[in-house]
Chain A
């Protein structure tokens, strides 16, 4: 306890104060669906942000507040920092209604990664629910960037309605040009929808992949992730090879504010990407 007298930080602090936002300019704002938008950001000064698939940033709308948002861009190629955001709250509304040229604050990148390369030599299954496709997009782009290193790549994607399907053009490109098996289902398929209707978790049992040699990446509402992970494990994917991206309230992103705790986990630094063997007992307990 001598540290009480000589309280030196034992780890080197990150370069800049992790609590101070860095200014980024909104270069382009693209509307993906009726409530979902993709923001392309460039730093006002300095180099572009280096990040890995699965990581998130804290995005700040000046004077309104900050929210954790997963990065949805391509981690293998230089380019603007991309975030795909659903307009659901005060801050997200301010972010998606910002005008091009506006300056937003960025802190990060924070958190663990999908570690896609860990799946080399085997099959990779991505299961996405709703906006959960956005955090999986960097992983998919990384897979496509090194397509020859992987076996089958399967994307199972569930959206609420056909109008809510994200990245529609890209889904086709991934399937046609990059040999990704893309299966899309919707909860509610009125209108002219001729595709599948039903829960995305129901696609898992019949999807084509070698369960014993598969890395599975899952992102979506928590209940959907729980059922998807369970279905993957039932298929024979080891729980330690199933990765989920968790969502919790976050105020700091660096493990200091305490909001994101899931029993012993700080989701912001121990996650957001966590393996299902670790999460399974925590997800079955209500309101843990």
Chain B
């Protein structure tokens, strides 16, 4: 496998998409819809957002035109890859009433071909890895997710245009993916419009063999490095990650939660745009006869009142408790549960919060109010549990 970096031009990118389509992949990439960059099925470079830039800040997203033809000149799309592998509404099963009670039918008769992700950013690839950990690498496996994830091909892009709410550099996930790709593109706009391609896997090399390439020059490689270095310096936000888990645990009774609750709309937007949030609910749907029932798994959110409902009422009746649960999970207890942060620094929860609440600012406020650190707390350990059979 030739591991040397290659150069392709815009036509080469088109050839790459076509090579993936010819191999039976459903190619999913960024495209413009309703004034925003969203992920969707694409068939070529014409579907990519050409010459657009996104201005992102708390509760603000505006698509603007660039003075070049960049195809990846924007930061995080509205959603990461979550809806691709973990749809908002998944039919778990359908059952028909029968003399023996009910017969359950497997809804996964049609299995979509594997997905090729085009233009995936470091933050979103890390988020996919986190979902794999949560949904596939523990005792119980989410079959529906595993089926959708099987055989995914990844054409990653080194992020050259971090947004105003981005902080992947602080949490160590980006702006350039280090692994987890078959091919990695860095868009080079100076001189000619072309892409440096780095090969991550032999499968990637195999696909790239269908595309006309030239070997990258040392100056191309340097230019690609500069793109990443500039991006690293231009992160709109920072998050201090040192001791975050202990900070959150120690801040459980902080008055800051009341402050944030006065602003929080409990609308759930932050959780539903977060590429790592995985909470779901199940809902049963019956027809009028009651003879056919379907169980759907739908995205849910710890910000809804019904989320924590047991008979007698919601356990988290107040918004302060719900915000605390979300932030403590994302930045604290996630580390105990999965040995990693639940935040990839994509900034979506900040951009898409209609109340402009900023998780990095909230974390900084908790840190400012926290008592000076005592002796270091115990490191995250696998949760000691009750006794498993």
Contact = CB atoms under 8 A, between A and B. Distances in A.
A51 B388 CA distance: 11
Nearest to A278: B384
B321 interface: yes
Interface string A24-66: 0100000000000000000010000001101100000011111
14 contacts: A13-B141, A23-B100, A62-B102, A88-B312, A115-B387, A243-B386, A257-B280, A258-B280, A261-B325, A263-B328, A265-B383, A269-B385, A270-B383, A275-B386
Contacts of B252: 285, 288
Given A7-B146, A62-B102, A256 B180 contact: no
A274 interface: yes
A1 B386 contact: no
A103 interface: yes
B251 to A, nearest CB: 11
B279 A266 contact: no
Contacts of A272: 386
A269 B181 CA distance: 33
Contact of B152 (A4, A52, A112): A4
B93 interface: yes
A113 interface: yes
Given A23-B100, A249-B310, A258 B315 contact: no
B6 interface: no
A114 B253 CA distance: 32
A147 B204 CA distance: 65
Nearest to B334: A264
Interface in A99-142: 102-105, 109, 111-115, 118
Given A4-B129, A256-B278, A271-B386, A10 B136 contact: yes
Given A3-B132, A62-B101, A115-B386, A287 B321 contact: yes
A287 B140 CA distance: 28
**SS class, residues of chain A in contact with chain B:** loop
A121 B114 CA distance: 57
A171 B163 CA distance: 66
A273 interface: yes
Contacts of A7: 132, 136, 146, 149-150, 152
A102 B329 CA distance: 41
Contacts of A275: 386
Interface string B175-190: 0011111100000000
A190 interface: no
A4 B280 contact: no
User: What is the size category of the interface that chain A forms with chain B?
Assistant: 35 or more
A89 B333 contact: no
A248 B309 CA distance: 8
User: What is the size category of the interface that chain B forms with chain A?
Assistant: 35 or more
Contact of A273 (B136, B278, B387): B387
B387 A118 contact: yes
Contacts of A287: 315-318, 320-321
B315 A248 contact: yes
Interface string A50-84: 01101100000011111000000000000000000
A274 B181 contact: no
Contact of B101 (A3, A65, A103, A113): A103
**SS class, residues of chain B in contact with chain A:** mixed
A11 B136 CA distance: 8
Given A20-B92, A264-B337, A251 B253 contact: no
B93 to A, nearest CB: 6
A260 B325 CA distance: 12
B375 interface: no
Nearest to A1: B180
Interface stretch (B21-29, B281-289, B351-359): B281-289
Contacts of A192: none
Interface string B125-169: 110110010111111111100100110111000000000000000
B61 interface: no
Contacts of B329: 261
Q: Which of A9, A21, A92, A102 has the most CB of B within 10 A?
A: A9
Given A55-B389, A288-B321, A19 B93 contact: yes
A243 B138 CA distance: 25
A81 to B, nearest CB: 15
Given A2-B180, A264-B383, A274-B385, A258 B279 contact: yes
A106 B336 CA distance: 31
B328 A11 contact: no
B111 interface: no
Q: What 5 A-B pairs come out closest when comparing CB atoms?
A: A103-B101, A112-B386, A258-B279, A287-B321, A264-B336
B58 interface: no
Nearest to B287: A63
A253 to B, nearest CB: 9
B92 A251 contact: no
Contact of B140 (A18, A118, A258, A261): A18
B241 interface: no
Contact of B143 (A17, A21, A109, A114): A17
A259 B281 contact: yes
B374 interface: no
A257 B125 contact: no
A63 B290 contact: yes
A103 B102 CA distance: 7
Given A52-B389, A249-B309, A9 B141 contact: yes
Contacts of B328: 263
Contacts of B310: 247-249
Nearest to A258: B279
A44 B101 contact: yes
B137 A255 contact: no
B201 interface: yes
A111 B140 CA distance: 12
